[in-house]
Structure 1
């Protein structure tokens, strides 16, 4: 059974994919399957470990907070040749979760929270920064399940501007979204494989000093269009464009 055959089946995250045969889905995922989704005997679901592997499974029995499954053979879902890492300046309030949710649904591969100069939101202390990363991980996890992804984006520790510049230098390509960019994203020089870094600034914009540092590291400054988008939605729109421009959406999922 290939991923294409599982279109529409709900996804459930497990720490490790079980072997072929009987498996009991319990804990939060088992409760979600039995109580929230109200799955019934004979229905098909998908188990994933969030690293690009999935296993089809058939419900054989439903208990209180548990689901008995007959698990099939695991398959590896091919990943895009160009991986996109989003460097997201910290949005304020609920827009922080929204940015992570939308980017995950749009297919981002990795997330890097960035403490930009003009950020209103601040993860000032080490404890607050750690809690912020954990929260982003949770949002990414739920969004990945909702969008039926076989991979859950990684979330890195809070990055400084210097750290982002280092990330850009080590990448196959990098784009900084900026309304003053003279090059539209449709004409940007893009890699055919490897890691592409996408930098989205805060509501107040990327500072001239940050732009200089990122350009020096090898990034291109590009614009999406005439409209100026919020920091929480810009990445999702850019990821849609990159899905076409980098042929990420041309690659159909299939077993290998």
Structure 2
């Protein structure tokens, strides 16, 4: 089994011996019950990692480790960004969790015209915070050291601008004539994938996205919910681009 991952704010401040404290230290000591000699990984979530060995514990929330090596994981290519329309309830966190687990690089919340959920004011900030916390926890759970970026919620016009800069852009939509599984993909650069809301991408949104350079593609013969479509499509792209090989 791979070593558990814990997050620290600054890896450049980690010396030969380091004390992991706070919530991360408490989880390591009181929940994981790590013991001397066991391996752990410290990360800043931005690609840097420190391989460590547990030396001991202090109380219920301080883990003392010896750093054996420090390295940096370069960004993978092509970079995969998923634009996720806002689902109802906690399905947004589910989408973020599973997309993080499969390896998506960035997630952009999208306030599509047919979204029932509305991110406004403090409620919107709270929901965004939940998405970012979910990405962090899922990143740790899946043993990632480069967590996905969760952007601020974007409008349709902002999404169109993002698509215009992409090396490949796709909208999951039933109007697509070609399956995503057969399209030619770039081996580097930026791939942007659009996942619409439960009510689907509105015609005017689809037109705007097509004008920005995105094409509509089918994912498969079944209808997936918005909270699972992005994960399924990202897994397909990760396999086809060689990132899973």
Task: Give the TM-score, by structure 1 length.
Answer: 0.92
Residue 21 of structure 2 is matched in structure 1 by 26
- Residue 51 of structure 2 is aligned to residue 74 of structure 1: no
Task: Give the TM-score, by structure 2 length.
Answer: 0.96
Residue 102 of structure 1 is matched in structure 2 by 98
- Residue 10 of structure 2 is aligned to residue 10 of structure 1: no
- Residue 165 of structure 2 is aligned to residue 161 of structure 1: no
For 2:183 and 2:55, how far apart are their aligned partners in 1?
51
- How far residue 126 of structure 1 moved from its aligned partner, in angstroms, is 2.9
- How far residue 20 of structure 1 moved from its aligned partner, in angstroms, is 4.1
Question: 5+ residue gaps in structure 2?
Answer: none
> Any idea what the Cα deviations from partners look like across 1:31-64, whole Å, max 9, x if unmatched?
0000110000110000011111111010001122
- How far residue 28 of structure 1 moved from its aligned partner, in angstroms, is 0.6
> Any idea what the Cα deviations from partners look like across 1:170-219, whole Å, max 9, x if unmatched?
11111111123111002223222111111100011001111101010001
Of the structure 1 ranges 125-134 and 240-249, higher mean CA displacement relative to structure 2 is found in 125-134
Alignment of 1:1-256 (within 5 A): 8-17=2-11, 18-63=13-58, 64-123=60-119, 125-250=120-245
Question: 5+ residue gaps in structure 1?
Answer: 1-6, 251-256
Q: Secondary structure at the match of 2:69?
A: coil
- Computed over aligned residues only, the root mean square deviation of the Cα atoms, in angstroms, reads 1.1
Q: Secondary structure at the match of 2:181?
A: helix
For 2:181 and 2:74, how far apart are their aligned partners in 1?
25
Of the structure 1 ranges 30-39 and 7-16, higher mean CA displacement relative to structure 2 is found in 7-16
Q: Secondary structure at the match of 1:100?
A: helix
For 2:68 and 2:174, how far apart are their aligned partners in 1?
49
> Any idea what the Cα deviations from partners look like across 1:68-106, whole Å, max 9, x if unmatched?
010122112233210111100000001111011011111
Q: How many residues align?
A: 243
> Any idea what the Cα deviations from partners look like across 1:206-247, whole Å, max 9, x if unmatched?
011111010100012111110010000011111110111111
